[in-house]
Amino acid sequence: MLLDPSADDRLDRAFMALADPVRRGIIARLSRGPATVNELAEPFQITKQAVSKHIQVLEQAGLVTRTRDAQRRPVHLAPAQLEALTAWIDRFRLIHEQQFRSLDALLATTSGTDAAPAEAGATADPARKAERS
């Protein structure tokens, strides 16, 4: 089960875990501090068992951790995985932004007449020849 989850696998679980409004609500609540299953279940119209399953999903995704406190199992936010997600997204967001800028510069130097209406790169794309990575 938890032997060696690849980086892809970890991202899969984390993104999937956030692709549900209940689980995002749980994350939002936990950002204010730890909470028990019952407390987390209260805002939603589903059974406690369903919430427990959601928490399991979040835990397997590395987004929360559970501790012990008598009968209670307080759930805590684990921000490290959230950081990993923003890191992944921002990586490609920034690459794209840079590509866009350099393409923009290229168009500015070659065409000279008009700067092309925002729909850049549809056919004349300098990055297209790179393949078979």
Partner DNA sequence: CCATTGATCAACTTGTTGGTTGACTAAGAG
Partner DNA sequence: CTCTTAGTCAACCAACAAGTTGATCAATGG
Q: Which is nearer to DNA, 49 or 111 (CB)?
A: 49
Answer with the entry of its own copies, DNA, none that 111 interacts with (C-beta below 5 to 8 A by kind): none
Interface residues toward its own copies, by CB under 8 A: 8, 11-13, 15-16, 18-21, 24, 27-28, 30-36, 39, 42-43, 67, 69-70, 74, 76-77, 79, 82-83, 85-86, 88-93, 95-97, 99, 103, 119, 121-123, 125-128, 130-133
Cα–Cα nearest to 50, from 19, 76, 20, 13: 20
- Are 76 and 30 within 8 A, CB to CB? yes
Tell the smallest beta-carbon distance from residue 104 to its own copies (Å).
Answer: 13
Answer with the entry of DNA, its own copies, none that 54 interacts with (C-beta below 5 to 8 A by kind): DNA
Other CB atoms within 10 A of residue 16 CB = 13
DSSP string for residues in 83-121 = HHHHHHHHHHHHHHHHHHHHHHHHHHHHT-S----S-TT
The H or E element spanning position 23 is: helix 21-30
Q: Which is nearer to DNA, 36 or 99 (CB)?
A: 36
